[in-house]
Structure 1
Amino acid sequence: MTDLSIDARLLAPDNNRHQANLTIVAIAAALLLAGAAALSNVVSWQQGLLFLLGGALGLTLYHALFGFTSAWRVFIVSRRGAGLRAQMVMLALATALFFPVLAQGTLFGGAVRGEIGAVGIGMLTGAFLFGLGMQLGGGCASGTLYTAGGGNTRMLVTLAAFIAGSTIGALHLPWWSGLPNIGPVSLIERLGWLPALMLCWAVMAVIYLLTVRAERQRHGALEPGARTELRGFRRFIQGPWPLLWGAILLAIGNFATLYLARRPWGITSAFALWGSKILMGLGVDVASWPYWQGARAASLQQSIFTDITSVMDFGIILGALLAAGLAGKFSPTWRIAPRSLLAAIVGGLLLGYGARLAYGCNIGAYFSGIASGSLHGWCWLVAAFLGNILGTQLRPLFGLGVER
């Protein structure tokens, strides 16, 4: 019996005949190193390191196939819960790292802050739409980036629609923010960091154990992890990695982001920035939108390479490209079935729009929100999971499978 090794349903069959694609590896590595050097020279050393950190996160996501979308779907459909259990381990480690630091307000002498979002109608609606979009688009925010970087051309369509939806969401956000809400709620401030940590760990433990019980009731035993003949250093380089490796490394990576960026990891705010800049180039007066007033105004006028989230997103894509090259699995195909293409567009729009309403995605709202002790992170989980249930039911209408 295995628990936190790779869930076989989340992983393509292992093919040890694959050899590393050295051309792809060289291109991805060169771009990561050159980009980090340029950013360090032009912006700051922190920006260069954040770019490399994004690359490390992208490689981790790809090699561990640490997806949120497929993990939730296989539990909804088959009651296989290895992916959900890995997420609970990731969150448990992240909260242990984050809570005492955020309570103090400093990390290695520098001020840091968490991601605390308001809980209300707009946020819950956005999380539900995001969850629905996950199953139609075929990925979450991190999943879209790392699968696109790994050569999945359908996810490039999802990414383009994701950017469009996020831009529209930025335009509409002031209206949604005006709907009834209870405002931001920090569990660390309300309870103290240690009681808040114990409460969060208790909830994570309940979710973990419920998935174990559900899987055993349905199947009699927990599913064995995917088998691979690769061992030691070669497995580390080429993958696949156990989910436990991914859970630990993603939690540490988010904590490193907190140190370098002075706030936790996020992904989707960059999409609204990219889309808005494109509209600016087309002559649209984006700067007059309420979303781009105040603190956000400067980022609209500056280069995207000064934006931390954008730089990390670019790093994730290149890190996944590097991982795909190392695994010998970079082989993009350009044929997409019409219904699948439609699902990618609709799903991407829902992902982008929902992320803006919900103050983030599976990373910025769920992972970093819970790591920050924000109540909205837990509320996001519930609403997004409900959206995933509906999205899973709708997948066959678009010719999409539900088992993986």
Structure 2
Amino acid sequence: MNSGAKDRPSTSFSGVIRQNFATKISLCLLMALTIVVGANYGWRRGLLVVVGGLLGVALYYSSFGFTSAWRLLVFERRGAGVQAQLVMLAIAVTLFFPLLAVGEVFGQSLQGFVNPVSVTVALGAFLFGIGMQLAGGCASGTLFSVGGGDSRTLLTLFSFITGATVVTFHLPWWKTLPNLGAISLVDQFGWIVALALSLCVFTALFVLVGKFSTRETRSLVDDGPVDWLRSPWPLLWGAVALALLNATVLVLSGRPWGITGAFSKWGGHALHAVGIDLSSYPYWAEYDFGRSLLGDVPTTTSLGIILGAVASAGLLGKFNPTLRISKRGAITAIVGGLMMGYGGRLAFGCNIGALFGGIASGSLHGWLWLVCGFVGSIFGVFLRKQLGDGPYRNTQPQVEAAKP
């Protein structure tokens, strides 16, 4: 793996000061946000901020992402990242299905992400797959990369928010396209049969990915001891942590972890703040802009992810924000972010809300998202290569190919 200067831990005195400052400030902000949200919206909401921070830690330490994992599987036949995702999903359905079947835990009603199997899901996931390869990161990857100080992903985040906002004006038309309705495996077969079927599929896919893979730079479980605070985590640790934390989000909030919905609200609040009246648009007609965004679950968990990633980058000595970015890199980040924002809202969510949350909820729309998003991702890699940007650009194919 090629490691650029920005990826090496800072060892100078000023670098150490910067890392320590980033860690302490982010943890203080995370604590303050937890207290504010908890005081205004209850202890469950306050704990969700902490869970968001832990999600950021797990994502950053394990470098757990969908974008590079899918790319490496198809173009380099390295399947460890995809196998980690399958482990994550297997653990998630094992936790989610019985909880959703019960429907309530500790007085909190539970509802999964079960949405229609539709043309809009297929198209939206396909667009998202292209966009995440152009941008170089998915929804969760964008958040934890922003926390790590990556300036390119700041552009991706802003364009992601823009795309997720623009699509709200077009959703009424998109909803008129054909769909098969919402189909839940848990409702159709009962949670025990649905779980057995899902685990069989995950096992088969895990074996197929392993047979397809010919070489690896990472394994699910790294050899030797791992310092969980001062060194990167094995992929398996990330998979287990993300599944457990998603189940925690479900128990605390009554719904799985989601991201894209928050971005639409951020954009809507920004337009409202500058005096644009959105009340004539169906999506916003009944939305209360007087309500604080801190009361929104995806918003607080997303902020927690960013702060958790900042703290993680500081602890690993990798917090090194820079404004250097090429013109071509800026263009692909912006276009990719717009496609992810627009496509994510069309598909009832991103790789987290629709794929992870949908499959964990037993919804067939999550599986449709997986297939169409994966195909779109392949197109996205080819398109980024044609644009002369990304891991397979013609200038340095051997050096860049191994970058996550």
Counterparts of residues 75-154 of structure 1 (less than 5 Å):
75-154=73-152
TM-score normalised by structure 2 residue count: 0.91
SS at structure 2 position matched to 1:182: strand
Q: Structure 2 unaligned runs (5+)?
A: 393-400
Q: CA deviation at 1:196?
A: 0.9
| Distance in structure 2 (CA, Å) of the matches to 1:311 and 1:342 | 29
1:52 pairs, out of 36, 46, 50, with: 50
Greater shift, 41-50 or 142-151, is seen at 41-50
Distance 1:39 1:11, change over 3 A: farther
Question: CA separation in 2, counterparts of 1:131 and 1:318?
Answer: 26
Please state if 1:326 is matched with 2:315.
Answer: yes
Q: Does the 8 A contact of 1:91 with 1:371 survive in 2?
A: yes
Q: 2:398 aligns to what? A: none
Please state how far the C-alpha of 1:343 moved relative to its aligned partner. 0.2
Tell me, yes or no, if structure 1 residue 262 matches structure 2 residue 258: no
1:399 aligns with 2:397: no
1:229 Cα deviation (Å)? Answer: 10
1:309 and 2:307 correspond? no
Q: Does 2:378 match 1:386?
A: no
Is residue 2:65 matched to residue 1:62? no
Residue aligning to 2:358: 369
Match of 2:283 among 291, 300, 317: 291
Deviation of residue 101 (structure 1)?
1.1
Distance in 2 (CA, whole Å) between partners of 1:398 and 1:168 is: 28
Is the Cα contact below 8 Å between 2:114 and 2:182 reproduced in 1? yes
Letter in 1 for 2:335: V
Q: What residue number does 2:232 align with?
A: 240
**Segments of 4+ moved more than 6 angstroms:** 8-14, 226-230
Counterpart contact for 2:219–2:235, Cα < 8 Å: no
Offset of 1:270 from its aligned partner?
0.5
Q: CA deviation at 1:17?
A: 7.5
Q: Is the 8 A contact 1:171 1:291 kept in 2?
A: yes
Any idea what SS the aligned residue of 2:228 has? helix
CA RMSD of aligned residues (A): 2.2
One-letter amino acid matched to 1:260: L
Counterpart-to-counterpart distance in 2, 1:99 and 1:31 = 35
Matches within 5 A, 1:331-346: 331-346=320-335
Distance 1:228 1:95, change over 3 A: closer
Displacement after TM superposition at 1:228 (Å): 8.8
Tell me, in whole angstroms, the C-alpha distance in 2 between the residues paired with 1:316 and 1:203: 30
Partner-residue secondary structure (3-state), 2:318: coil
One-letter amino acid matched to 2:364: L
Aligned-pair identity (%): 47
* In 2, Cα distance between equivalents of 1:101 and 1:224: 33
Cα deviation, residue 293, structure 1:
3.9
Mapped to 2, the partners of 1:153 and 1:271 lie a distance apart of: 18
Q: Is the Cα contact below 8 Å between 2:359 and 2:367 reproduced in 1?
A: yes
Alignment size in residue pairs: 388
Shift in Å, 1:187: 0.7
Would you say the 8 A contact 1:11–1:65 is kept in 2? no
In structure 2, C-alpha distance between the alignment counterparts of 1:229 and 1:118, rounded to whole Å? 43
TM superposition shift of 1:171 = 1.3
Whole-angstrom distance in 1 between the partners of 2:364 and 2:219: 33
Normalization by structure 1: what TM-score?
0.91
Q: Is the 8 A contact 1:9 1:74 kept in 2?
A: no
What's the secondary structure of 1:183's corresponding residue?
A: strand
Counterpart of 2:156 (choices 155, 158, 175) is: 158
Post-superposition CA distance 1:162-216 (Å, at most 9, x none): 0000001111111111100011111100111111111111211122111111113
Query: Relative to 1, partners in 2 of residues 1:14 and 1:336: Cα closer, same or farther, differing over 3 Å?
Result: closer
For residue 229 of structure 2, give the secondary structure of its aligned residue in structure 1: helix
Structure 1 position 41 matched with structure 2 position 39: yes
1:281-329 Cα shifts (integer Å, max 9, x gaps): 22222232211245xx24x431111111111110000000000000000
Q: Secondary structure at the match of 1:335?
A: coil
Is the alpha carbon distance of 1:10 and 1:230 closer, same or farther for their aligned partners in structure 2, counting shifts above 3 Å?
farther
Residue 198 in structure 1 maps to residue 188 in structure 2 = no
Shift of 1:11: 11
Q: How does 1:170-181 map to 2 (within 5 A)?
A: 170-181=168-179
Q: Output the CA distance in 2 between the equivalents of 1:12 and 1:239.
A: 18
